[in-house]
Amino acid sequence: MNVAAAVPPLATAATDIGRAVLGHDNLQRWTSDLPRGGSRRAPRHPAGPVAVWFPACIHNLFGAAEGGPGVGPALDALLARTGTTVDIPEGINGLCCGTPWSSKGFTRGHATMREKALPILWEATGHGRLPVVVDGASCTEGVLKFQHTDPDPRYGELTIIDAVEFVADRLLDDLVVTHPYDTVVLHNTCSMTHLGLNAAARAIAEKIASSVIVPVATGCCAFAGDRGMLHPELTASATKGEATEVAARTGRDTGRTAYASANRTCEVGMTRATGQTYHHILELLDLATRP
């Protein structure tokens, strides 16, 4: 992504030519509104961890949106601010939640990653003693799918939660808001809804803002992993109602307004659809509670 961002016209032209040859379902289209690449994940083993952090690999592919630190650095800052320590397991840079495989029907690839990830998480958590915290809603759903589809009954003892829930339950009360927002506009993703995270995301938004808006037309953004890069028209169609509602508010809202979600590709899709920069809700919490 960083190489493509350095030469945007060439990257767009190259992917357009490739799509013409290989087909629109086989090669993603690079556009200049896509983020630069992110950073590699690295293990850590502090004393007294209360959880095992599974940083999502999508943050390797897509770096932070403009004006935000990215969800990884944001969560790091929130943990430090509250004196909370977490472990990141060895081999993390070779692990994935499996969603890129399962969403395309690549069952063997999904099973291979599951067979790699679950034993590592089992050992890192002390055989289920510590919870696993995942920092992207669809990725949390993916790790839960690992657990639910693996035949080994031991892995049923793992507790897998999303970072939004973890922060809302364990860190939020210990954070002091120093830079509040006037309004936070919240996009609840499909995975957030499936996992029951909407209330936790709203609680975080209410902590940092005087007003929290969830658009009436909120629905699936249809970015769907890389689907929004294969068929941008799907996201444009799926988000039309919500984007219209957000645009209508933009002219009325005064003061400090931010736009939030809890999944990187959905944030990219909503940014593209509305013209407003969406960040992970934990990024906004970090920015609002900095000293």
Rounded CA-CA distance 18/186 in Å is: 36
Identify the pLDDT of residue 223.
Answer: 66
Burial of 251 (0-12, 13-18, 19+ CB in 10 A): exposed
Helix (H, G, I), strand (E, B) or coil at 257: strand
**Is 209 part of any domain?**
yes
Identify the pLDDT of residue 5.
Answer: 43
Q: In DSSP terms, which residues pair with 279 in a beta bridge?
A: 260
Measured CA distances, 253 to 76, 123, 250, 258, 288 (Å): 31, 49, 6, 10, 19
The total of structural domains in the chain comes to: 1
Identify the pLDDT of residue 118.
Answer: 98
**Is 160 part of any domain?**
no
**Is 237 part of any domain?**
yes
| Closest of 192, 188, 175 to residue 77, by C-alpha | 175
**Is 252 part of any domain?**
yes
Structural domain containing residue 256: 176-288
The angle that helices 137-149 and 264-274 make with each other, rounded to 10 degrees, is: 140
**Is 181 part of any domain?**
yes
**Is 97 part of any domain?**
no
The angle that helices 198-208 and 163-170 make with each other, rounded to 10 degrees, is: 50
Tokens, residue 78: 């929130």
**Is 198 part of any domain?**
yes
Q: b/e map of 71-92 (b: 16 or more CB within 10 Å)?
A: bbbbbbbbbebeebebbbbeeb
Instruction: Check: CB of residue 99 under 8 Å from CB of residue 225.
Output: yes
**How would you write the pLDDT of the chain (291 residues) with one tens digit per residue?**
443 444 445 444 444 444 344 444 544 555 556 556 667 889 999 999 999 999 998 888 778 889 999 999 999 999 999 999 999 999 999 999 988 777 777 889 889 999 999 999 999 999 999 999 999 999 999 999 999 999 999 999 999 999 999 999 999 999 999 999 999 999 999 999 999 999 999 999 999 999 999 999 888 875 655 655 566 677 766 678 888 898 888 767 678 999 999 998 889 888 988 999 999 999 999 999 999
pTM comes to 0.86
**Is 61 part of any domain?**
no
Residue 27 — φ and ψ, nearest 5°? Answer: -145, 125
